[in-house]
Amino acid sequence: MQLYLPIAEVSVNMFLLLGLGGGVGVLSGLFGVGGGFLLTPLLIFIGIPPAVAVATQAPQIAGLSLSGTLAHLRRRTVDLRMGTVLLSGGLVGSATGVWVFRLLTELGQVDLLVSLAYVIFLGVVGGLMFWESVGALRRSKGGTVVVKPRKRHGWVHGLPLKMRFRASHLYISAIPPFVIGLLVGVLSAIMGVGGGFIIVPAMIYILGMPTAVVIGTSLFQIIFVTGFTTLLHATQTYSVDAVLALLLLVGGVVGAQIGAQIAVKLRAEQLRILLAAMVLLVCAKLGYDLIVEPSELYSLGRIAL
Amino acid sequence: MRGVLAALFWLCSLLPVLAEQVIADLNQNQVAITATFDGSEIFVFGAVRRDAPVPAGAGPLQVLVSIVGPEGPIDVRRKEQVAGIWINADTVEIDSAPYFYAMATTAPLREVISHTEQMRQRIGLEHLVKLIDAPADVADTPAFREALMRVRSREGLYEELVGAVTLRDETLFDVSVRLPANLVEGDYRARVVLTRDLEVVDSVEQTIAVRRSGFEDWVYTLAMDKPLIYGLLSLAIALFLGWAAASVFRYVRS
């Protein structure tokens, strides 16, 4: 059934959108990643204007993250204090990101910004994931498990403005989490992602947080940052398509539950390679489109009637 | 609409006797863009009223029907290769271009109307897509105008239907023009022109009001006029859905 999206101003098959949301939801449930970094490029591939694809991800991700956070709150695996510091940085970052996004929209370069950001981050994340899963496969075959001891005292511990984070058993400066939150906030606004794939490793390796509270805390702060990003995109770039967001969300929540059920039964290591390969494939497609001479060199701006 | 036609007749009766007059109507004067909008068919039909016999030796009667969507300025961008990647480099603002344009005729355009008449009546894309002040620092600016027409043609927004108008006994005519799904709001002008020997004999114009309607209209208006409320509402619904999903699945599992 064709559905005319009010803000994107294109007519798209409703079941295609539900399916896309669902498919990416399954992946996110399976691997514990948000999936925004796959959904935005896919939406662009099916003809949604890049600005709308990015802005519409924000409410979508906020809804999905709330769903996940509730479960983590019940299990008490959320460091609320750390989350608050991260999200205060995130709000500043999101405002900066939307400002840059709006500026480049006016200059007609926003598509380039989105594509470049994706090529770089998908390349790096996909590459790392691929590397890690190949390593994990090799380890599970060899049978020897090498656990690197985590450094408890790095440069992070020398900074001022120290705060006590009880849930994470940390006494560190508030500056590093604030800066991490800020950077992820910028990415959230210009890429239409939650940023979990960056903030989770950053929390473990830079801040030294215990793994148990990382996912919950990340999801908790994502709700606020993407929520704020929604409001900024709605008022600054007018690109949030509520109908599109709801369809993706319905597909997404169902998919995520299915994915989580499958994850319990399956060994995820081989599948992780598959996910990495998919991320690299999307990255390659976006990169290819930037390098190869397009068949039509001219494009039209947004109409102002 | 009837009133307009009646007024037209009355006006015509005041004028010196015209040999041939066109009377035309559309199957609809309003198009509603709803959530399931998938394009719309506009059926233009009419008749020729003749007070005197056609002079001997006159060429055949021709009919030209055009539908022109809302006109306005638009930016056209050209990509260039910079450091290995293709990015938007030059921008030219086309001063005025219709968003939609369809022209249907009974015969090839050059057999229907002369160049001068075409210019006087502003018929054809070459007179509607206007680039007046081209920036001096951009090379080959006419290419931007060509590109606009090419891109819109490919999107089904610019169309020329040669020979699509059927004319019976030089009296009754009709043509069907399809408005695509990717329409924008605005007033679309439908015009019927009668010609003989490349000269315009008579013409009439009607307006088709294309409007968003129902839910589509409500969402769009809210998003543009009260963006903060729209943003809050979108977010609230998304969060509610997230919460509801979590509760439902927890209930199902337990």
DSSP of chain B, one letter per residue? -HHHHHHHHHHHHHSSPPSEEEEEEES-SEEEE-TT---EEEEEEEEEEESSPPPTT---EEEEEEEE--EEEEEEEEEEEETTEEEEEEEEEEEEEES-EEEEESS-HHHH--HHHHHHTT-SHHHHSB--S--TTSS-THHHHHHHHHHHHHTTSEEEETT--EEETTTEEEEEEEEPSS--SEEEEEEEEEEETTEEEEEEEEEEEEEE-HHHHHHHHHHHH-HHHHHHHHHHHHHHHHHHHHHHHHHHH-
Nearest residue of A to residue B75 by CA position? A301
Interchain CB distance below 8 Å, B243 and A303? no
- Among A66, A72, A73, most B C-beta atoms within 10 A, so best to mutate, is A66
Structural domain of residue B102, as residue ranges? 19-212
Give the number of other Cβ atoms within 10 Å of residue B46's Cβ: 20
Percent of chain A having pLDDT more than 70? 91
B2 occurs within a structural domain = no
Decide if pLDDT at A172 tops 90: no
B160 and B238 in a single domain? The answer is no
**Residue-wise pLDDT tens digits, B136-164:** 888 888 899 999 999 999 988 999 999 99
B224 and B171 in a single domain? The answer is no
Cα gap A105→A112, rounded to integer Å: 10
Q: Which of B75, B185, B232 sits opposite A301 (nearest CB)?
A: B75
- Is the distance from CB of B102 to CB of B177 less than 8 angstroms? yes
- Is the distance from CB of A217 to CB of A49 less than 8 angstroms? no
DSSP of A79-111, one letter per residue? -HHHHHHHHHHHHHHHHHHHHHHHHHHHHT-HH
Cβ-count burial of B128 within 10 angstroms (0-12 exposed, 13-18 middle, 19+ buried)?
A: middle
Please report the pLDDT score of residue A269 as a whole number: 67
* Chain B residues touching residue A238 (CB < 8 angstroms): 223-224, 227
**What is the least distance, in Å, from the CA of B152 to any CA of chain A?**
9
B159 and B205 in a single domain? The answer is yes
- Is the distance from CB of B45 to CB of B54 less than 8 angstroms? no
Q: Which of A4, A254, A292 sits opposite B33 (nearest CB)?
A: A4
B197 and B218 in a single domain? The answer is no
Cα gap A123→A284, rounded to integer Å: 8
Strand-strand pairing, B85-98 and B71-82: antiparallel
**Residue-wise pLDDT tens digits, A189-236:** 988 888 887 888 888 888 888 878 888 888 899 999 999 999 999 999
Interchain CB distance below 8 Å, B36 and A1? yes
B236 and B111 in a single domain? The answer is no
Strand-strand pairing, A2-4 and A11-13: antiparallel
Amino acid letter for position B17: V
Q: Each residue of B141-167: b (16+ CB within 10 Å) or e?
A: bebbbebbbebbeeeebbbbeeebbeb
Nearest by Cα to B112 from B204, B20, B194: B194
Count structural domains, chain B: 2
Q: Which carries the bigger pLDDT value, residue B91 or residue A143?
A: B91
As for the ipTM of the complex, it is 0.84
Mean pLDDT over the full length of chain A:
84
Please report the pLDDT score of residue A96 as a whole number: 95
Residue A88 pLDDT class (50, 70, 90 cuts): very high
Please report the pLDDT score of residue A132 as a whole number: 81
Nearest by Cα to A52 from A287, A237, A275: A237
B12 occurs within a structural domain = no
Decide if pLDDT at B35 tops 90: no
Q: Which of B151, B216, B238 sits opposite A6 (nearest CB)?
A: B216
Nearest residue of A to residue B83 by CA position? A291
- Is the distance from CB of A163 to CB of A173 less than 8 angstroms? yes
**What is the least distance, in Å, from the CA of A230 to any CA of chain B?**
6
Cα gap A175→B230, rounded to integer Å: 34
Amino acid letter for position A26: V
Q: Which of B35, B147, B228 sits opposite A234 (nearest CB)?
A: B228
Interchain CB distance below 8 Å, B182 and A10? yes
Nearest by Cα to B241 from A193, A99, A257, A250: A250
Strand-strand pairing, B186-196 and B199-212: antiparallel
* Chain B residues touching residue A4 (CB < 8 angstroms): 33-38, 181, 216
B219 and B130 in a single domain? The answer is no
Tokens of A44: 């662009």
- Least trusted range by pLDDT, from A70-79, A136-145, A173-182, A251-260: A136-145
B49 and B69 in a single domain? The answer is yes
B121 occurs within a structural domain = yes
Q: How open is the CA angle A201-A204-A206, to the nearest 5 degrees? A: 90
Nearest residue of A to residue B88 by CA position? A109
Mean pLDDT over the full length of chain B:
88
* Chain A residues touching residue B219 (CB < 8 angstroms): 6-7, 242-243
* Chain A residues touching residue B34 (CB < 8 angstroms): 4
Q: Which carries the bigger pLDDT value, residue B105 or residue B184?
A: B105
Q: Which carries the bigger pLDDT value, residue B125 or residue A303?
A: B125
Nearest by Cα to A283 from A116, A108, A109: A116
- Is the distance from CB of B62 to CB of B107 less than 8 angstroms? yes
Question: How many CB contacts within 8 angstroms connect chain A with chain B?
Answer: 182
Interchain CB distance below 8 Å, B78 and A298? yes
Residue A263 pLDDT class (50, 70, 90 cuts): confident
B203 and B229 in a single domain? The answer is no
* Chain B residues touching residue A108 (CB < 8 angstroms): 75, 77, 88, 91
B178 occurs within a structural domain = yes
Residue B5 pLDDT class (50, 70, 90 cuts): low
Tokens of A49: 């204007």
Counting DSSP H helices and E strands in chain A, the numbers are 10, 5
Decide if pLDDT at A303 tops 90: no
Nearest by Cα to A237 from A48, A93, A102, A58: A102
Q: Which carries the bigger pLDDT value, residue B44 or residue A67?
A: B44
B246 and B208 in a single domain? The answer is no
Q: Any idea what the CATH number is for the domain that residue B118 is in?
A: 2.60.40.3880
A 198-227: CB under 8 A from B: 223, 227
- Least trusted range by pLDDT, from A116-120, A170-174, A242-246: A170-174
Q: Radius of gyration over alpha carbons of chain A, in Å?
A: 20
**Residue-wise pLDDT tens digits, A102-119:** 998 888 888 888 889 889
**Residue-wise pLDDT tens digits, B45-76:** 999 998 888 877 888 999 999 999 999 999 99
The whole-number average pLDDT for the span A167-192 is 88
DSSP class of residue A271? H
Give me the count of residues in chain A: 305
B134 and B218 in a single domain? The answer is no
DSSP of B22-82, one letter per residue? EEEEES-SEEEE-TT---EEEEEEEEEEESSPPPTT---EEEEEEEE--EEEEEEEEEEEE
B186 and B66 in a single domain? The answer is yes
B79 occurs within a structural domain = yes
Q: Which of A231, A254, A297 sits opposite B235 (nearest CB)?
A: A231
Please report the pLDDT score of residue B19 as a whole number: 77
Q: Which carries the bigger pLDDT value, residue A37 or residue B202?
A: B202
Please report the pLDDT score of residue A70 as a whole number: 86
Tokens of A159: 């900074």
**What is the least distance, in Å, from the CA of A261 to any CA of chain B?**
11
The whole-number average pLDDT for the span B119-139 is 86
Decide if pLDDT at B17 tops 50: no
Residue A301 pLDDT class (50, 70, 90 cuts): confident
B222 and B191 in a single domain? The answer is no
Decide if pLDDT at B113 tops 70: yes
Q: Confirm or reject contact between A145 and chain B (CB < 8 A).
A: no
B177 occurs within a structural domain = yes
Strand-strand pairing, B101-105 and B158-161: parallel
Cα gap A129→B220, rounded to integer Å: 41
Q: Each residue of B218-234: b (16+ CB within 10 Å) or e?
A: ebbebbeeebeebbebb
